[in-house]
Structure 1
Amino acid sequence: MRLFHTSDWHLGQNLHGQERDFEHACFLDWLLRQLAAEQPDVLLIAGDIFDTVNPPVKAQERLYDFIVSAHEQQPLLTIVMIAGNHDSGSRIELPAPLMRRLRTHALGRVLWLDDGQLDAERLLIPLPDASGAIAAWCLALPFLRPAEVTGAQLGDNYLRGIGQVHEWLIAAADAKRQPGQALIAISHAHMAGGSVSEDSERSLIIGNAEALPASLFGPSISYVALGHLHKPQKVNGEERIRYSGSPIPLSFSEINYQHQILDVRLDGETLLSVEPRLIPRAVHLQRLGPAPLAEILGQLSELPDIDLLAETQRQPWLEVRVRLDEPQPDLRQQIEIALQGKAVRLVRIAAEYAGSGGREGDDDSATLIELDQLTPQELFRRAWLDHYGNEVDDPTLNDFAQLLQDVQHEEEQA
């Protein structure tokens, strides 16, 4: 059996106010060509399909157009996609009955039976090979929100509830599969030891709770297709537990990532190989600085001029980071003048004062930080410190994180 593992498409994402639809369209066109050329049996999309719980119409059209096109060119392809923390689980599942006619399975949430047991049947998906025989079972684990895995049957410990869901689902899969059939897990989670990008991954962890251990996926699982972390990586060096990463750089901190999908091959229950397929970058991200203003202006003057025959949509996104000795009220104007006629698109100017390596809060070491660089937890911590004059304690951080999860869940249901 052969699978393509992808994740974190973030359709509908904006980069500092600039839409990325062209880049996503280029990725999806490339992926369709890969599917046509290589004919894998299964395509896995491990969550964060959309960037927000209420994605723009264009982003939804991109997803459904892709699914229809993939089915038309490869009728035997099975697609499994799960909701991530950025997604609305109910929105992902809304067209599920229609998508099943296109051999696409959409799982957004876990459900419980009247007797309090996990509805494992809906999370276990048969994966046929080219001959039509069931070669594997997919264990679909969408992002598990606290309200879904805590309560009367599971108690109030979020991580313990997640562990119980994994244990029950794996037991159900072991009972269902026949000899020689592999178990493939697809999950959207933050695994312990994973490398996080600076500013484009919303925290999944409540308060200071630890990330999930890889031991949740025992040796009976042949391959674990993970989503959430945007950098492609193995978990604890294990070949079978992988993040495929995002298909495009979702922030300037991801400029140097090798964006890819993973080509996974199995022989029965045995994992044969996992090979990256690098995704061509339709639009480059370019970062200048941090450097003094005079140096930055010199670098801007050396950028290539606009080619009138080239596509404007392929011009790089530009972030400029300027180090200042004092405030410059006309900073943006100076930079925009220097960029006139240049083949780049300015999306962000970050300014910091000289001496920013000092202690946070010192007047001579202040760094100008935009709100979209800070997580809600960090904003809360700073507001607490400003109001009360001391650092927030862990129990209060945990309460805030739980409240944040509840609000995000209510937004999803709206």
Structure 2
Amino acid sequence: MKILHTSDWHLGQSFFTKSRKAEHQAFLDWLLEQIAANGIDAVIVAGDIFDTGTPPSYAREMYNQFIVAISQLGCTLVVLGGNHDSVSTLNESKELVACLNTHVVASVVTNEVSNFVAENSEQAGNQIIELSNSRGETGAILCAIPFIRPRDVIQSSAGESGTEKRQALGSAIKQHYHQLYQAALNIRDEKQLSVPIIATGHLTALGVSQSDSVRDIYIGTLEGFAADGFPPADYIALGHIHRPQIVAKSDHIRYSGSPIPLSFDELKTVKQVMKVEFDGSDRTGITPIEIPRFQPMAVLKGDLGAIETQLKQYENSLPEMPVWLCIEVEIQDYLSDLQQRIQTMTEHLNVEVLQLRRSRNKAQQALTQVERETLAELTPHDVFAKRLELETFDGEKEQARLGRIKQQFREILSEVENPEQSA
């Protein structure tokens, strides 16, 4: 059995007003080639198919065309809803694409899972999927878990503290995973199958490295899910984090990452999809397949002289597409004509400057100030405020995020300083 794990396509994304349509189409074409070349039996897309809940028409068309194309290869497709996806948008074509060997799981249905475990029936809604191998036999059992919204698994109670809400939500998510895993075990035992059990998820597991393009998921008050809450599945295919990585040093718990860089800080990351192979119930290999870069992009840093020197590399190069640039200028004084200077440097080059910013000097200023202070002179609020000064919170969404961070800090500090009130 061969599984291909991918996630976070974000079809329809607008990148500094630039469309990613060409990149996404190139990726989907490349993915179909990999499916055919590697004899893939099933593809799992672990959330965030679209960038918004109302994707542009061309993004929906790409999605539908891909489903038709992959069905012609005899490969099963499993689409999980992410926090960016609209449940209704994914569900509107669910029954239609089911005729093309595509399973869409847009949201969690806890009642169906509970009924399955209680009655020991052979169906648990659409969250337990038997994936077929090349011989048409069941090659794996999938616990198809999309992005979990708080209302899907828990009901909040008045008077709960922040800690109690976090613990209750974490326990509810853990319970949902283990209920589905038990349902998969029951099917495997009843049918006497020697196949692996695979689980999915679209969330932030604790201890992972994020990028600028990842928008925080606040599942109630839970900011991260502990990896020990996952069931002992043979492979856990995760989405939401755009950098491919292993979770909690467990080789079988993985983020595949996004297929294209969704922010400039992702350029140092090699984009990939994960090929997972099984022989019966034994996992025989996890192999990353590197995804080509479909759009030239680069980040240039330094003072104006250094930037001008770095731009010379594009003087004689004539790529098929202009290079998208992020330029971060290190300057001591404010320059009102910075944008005009950069425009003059780049006007004859095959580049497009999508982001121009001044580098932050707050870190150096903070280090200088810390040398004159001792920790004993600072309150917890002082230390926290100084740490926040090292970050940038530009725009309405980032300011809202800053407000949530401050509120959570106040709740935690209150619980630490007044343990008798939270007991």
TM-score bin (small chain): 0.7 to 0.9
Question: How much does 1:140 deviate?
Answer: 0.5
Contact between 1:351 and 1:368, CA under 8 Å: does it hold in 2?
no
> Secondary structure of 1:262's partner?
strand
Distance change >3 Å, CA 115–CA 188, structure 1 → 2: closer
Distance change >3 Å, CA 375–CA 77, structure 1 → 2: farther
1:236-315 map, 5 Å: 236-289=248-301, 291-305=302-316, 307=318, 310-311=319-320, 314-315=321-322
The reply on whether 1:374 has 2:381 as its aligned counterpart is no
The reply on whether 1:327 has 2:334 as its aligned counterpart is yes
| Structure 1 residue aligned with 2:200 | 186
> Secondary structure of 2:365's partner?
coil
- How many angstroms apart in 2 are the aligned matches of 1:371 and 1:227? 26
Deviations, residues 41-88 of structure 1 (Å, cap 9, x unaligned): 10111111111122111111111111111112x1x2111110111111
TM-score by length of 1: 0.83
| Structure 1 residue aligned with 2:231 | 218
> Secondary structure of 1:29's partner?
helix
1:97-176 map, 5 Å: 97-113=95-111, 117=115, 120-151=124-155, 157-176=168-187
| Structure 1 residue aligned with 2:19 | 19
Question: How much does 1:301 deviate?
Answer: 4.2
Please list every run of 5 or more consecutive structure 2 residues that lacks an aligned counterpart in the other structure: 117-122, 158-163, 367-383, 415-423
| Structure 1 residue aligned with 2:79 | 81
1:38-117 map, 5 Å: 38-72=38-72, 74=73, 76-113=74-111, 117=115
Question: How much does 1:186 deviate?
Answer: 1.7
Q: Which amino acid letter does the alignment assign opposite residue 132 of structure 1? A: G
- How many angstroms apart in 1 are the aligned matches of 2:360 and 2:229? 46
Q: Which amino acid letter does the alignment assign opposite residue 102 of structure 1? A: L
Question: How much does 1:38 deviate?
Answer: 1.9
- How many angstroms apart in 2 are the aligned matches of 1:109 and 1:208? 20
The count of residues paired between Structure 1 and Structure 2 equals 378
- How many angstroms apart in 1 are the aligned matches of 2:253 and 2:178? 17
> Secondary structure of 1:44's partner?
strand
Distance change >3 Å, CA 376–CA 20, structure 1 → 2: farther
- How many percent of aligned residue pairs carry the same amino acid? 34
> Secondary structure of 1:121's partner?
coil
Measured on the aligned residues, the alpha-carbon RMSD in Å equals: 3.0
Question: How much does 1:272 deviate?
Answer: 0.5
Contact between 2:174 and 2:230, CA under 8 Å: does it hold in 1?
no
TM-score by length of 2: 0.81
Distance change >3 Å, CA 393–CA 30, structure 1 → 2: same
Contact between 2:150 and 2:219, CA under 8 Å: does it hold in 1?
no
Distance change >3 Å, CA 339–CA 114, structure 1 → 2: closer
Question: How much does 1:110 deviate?
Answer: 1.2
Q: Which has the larger radius of gyration?
A: 2
- How many angstroms apart in 1 are the aligned matches of 2:109 and 2:290? 36
Question: How much does 1:379 deviate?
Answer: 5.7
Deviations, residues 346-405 of structure 1 (Å, cap 9, x unaligned): 10001146565224999xx999864389374126558x9xxxxxx9623799xxxxxxxx
| Structure 2 residue aligned with 1:400 | none
- How many angstroms apart in 1 are the aligned matches of 2:322 and 2:397? 24
Question: How much does 1:35 deviate?
Answer: 1.4
- How many angstroms apart in 1 are the aligned matches of 2:393 and 2:246? 32
- How many angstroms apart in 1 are the aligned matches of 2:263 and 2:295? 12
| Structure 1 residue aligned with 2:216 | 203
| Structure 1 residue aligned with 2:420 | none
> Secondary structure of 1:122's partner?
coil
- How many angstroms apart in 2 are the aligned matches of 1:129 and 1:317? 42
Deviations, residues 81-128 of structure 1 (Å, cap 9, x unaligned): 101111112222221100111100010111244997579332001111
Distance change >3 Å, CA 284–CA 375, structure 1 → 2: farther
Contact between 1:45 and 1:82, CA under 8 Å: does it hold in 2?
yes
- How many angstroms apart in 1 are the aligned matches of 2:250 and 2:113? 37
| Structure 2 residue aligned with 1:406 | none
| Structure 1 residue aligned with 2:380 | none
Question: How much does 1:212 deviate?
Answer: 1.5
